[in-house]
Amino acid sequence: MTAKVILNPYSNRWNSQKRWSEVKSALETAGIDFHLAISEKKGQIVDLAEHAVLERFSPIIVAGGDGSVGDAANGLMRAAFSRQLAVPPLGIMPTGSANDIVFALGLPTDLHQAARVIAAGKTRVMDLGRLNNRYFVNNSAAGLEPYVTIKHEKIQWIKGIARYLVAAVQAIMDKPEWHGSIKWDDGEYTGMLSLISIGNGRRTGGFFMTPHADPFDGKLTLALGYRGTRLGLFQALPRAFNEDKGSYVEMDGMREVHATRVLIHLDKPSPAHTDGELFSEWIQDFEYEILPGCLSVIVQ
C-alpha cells in the first residue's frame, strides 16, 4: 500500500523543513512508496491525518516532533470514532527537537534507520492518554511544566534540549504555584502544587518528568508536588534528568503514582499542554484517562 507522509515544516524551529530532503532520501532508499502532505498551519496535522485514513493510505508517517505525532494521533482517533474506520499504523520520522515519544518507543533518531524500521512494518499497539477531549501520545501537564513551554516558545536564540533547560530556569524564577485537589484510582491529594505531570512516556523536553511511565502498561503515570522556594525547585531541576534512581519524584513534597483516571481541580486557571502543544486558554479542571492498546505504531 501507499503511505501518507505528513510533514510539519515548523518542527524544531523550521529545522524539519530544512531536513525534508534527508527524510525523502531515507524513505526512498528504504523503498517506501508515499504521497506527501505538508501542514501549513497550527493544528492542521489533525485534519491531514484524518483525511489520510479516509483516503485509505497506510501507514501514516509523521515527519516532525512530539506535537506533530500527537496531532496525528488525534486525527487517527477522530477517524476511528466518528467515521467508524480502522486506523492504519503510525510511523515516525523524527525531525523534532526533543523526540520524546521516539525515546519512549525505543525508536532510532537517525532518519535512514527510522525509514528502515518503517519499511519493515513491525507494529505494536500502545496506550493513548486523553485530557478532556484531546488525546496525547507521550505527556500532558498543568502548572510549572506548561509554564516552561510558554517560556520555551519565546526563546529563539538556543536550539535543541538546551532551550528547554533555559526555559525551565526562567519559569522557576517566576515561581508559579496553585492550590488544588487531585483524585486518582485509589488516592487523592489536596494542597499546594508546583507541578502536575501526566506521562504515558517517561521523558518530556529531555526531562524525566514521569520516570516510571510505560506506554504499554494500561496506566497513566502522575507526578505531582510542591516545592515552596525557588531554591527547592532548583534543587529538583537536575534530578529531573535522572532516569530512575535519584529522581526528583523521590524528594520531599514530590510523588509519583500510576492510575487509569485522574481528576484535577485548581483554585485558578493554569496553562496546559498535550505533547508540548499548549491549550489556547488556561484551565482549572482536568479529566485524564488512559485508553489501553488504542494506537498501532511501527516499532523495531
Domains of the chain as residue ranges with CATH: 3-121 (3.40.50.10330), 139-291 (2.60.200.40)
Q: Assess contact for 118 and 59: CB atoms under 8 A.
A: yes
pLDDT interval class at 86 (50, 70, 90): confident
Q: How far is CA 221 from CA 124, 215, 258, 269, in A?
A: 20, 10, 4, 22
pLDDT-derived band at 109, boundaries 50, 70, 90: very high
Name the nearest CA neighbour of 120 among 18, 235, 211, 30: 30
| Dihedral (CA of 40, 286, 99, 174) sign | positive
- Per the CB < 8 A criterion, the answer to whether 254 and 235 are in contact is no
What are the CA-CA distances from residue 268 to residues 13, 93, 247, 282, 283 (Å)? 32, 39, 28, 9, 8
At residue 106, the pLDDT reads 97
Backbone conformation region of residue 265, classed left if phi is above 0, alpha if psi is from -120 to 50, else beta: beta
Identity of the amino acid at 223: A
151 pLDDT higher than 80: yes
Q: Hey, what amino acid is at 255? A: R
The overall average pLDDT reported for the chain is 95
pLDDT at 15: 79
Distance from C-alpha of 255 to C-alpha of 225, rounded to nearest angstrom: 6
Q: What is the mean pLDDT of residues 14-36?
A: 94
158-193 per-position pLDDT tens digit: 877 788 889 999 999 999 999 999 999 999 999 999
Bond into 59 cis (ω within 30): yes
pLDDT band at 136 (very low <50, low <70, confident <90, very high): very high
Question: What is the value of pTM for the model shown?
Answer: 0.94
Give pLDDT tens digits for 247-274. 999 999 999 999 999 999 999 999 999 9
Q: Give the C-alpha separation, 82 to 94, whole Å.
A: 29
C-alpha cell at 48: 491531514
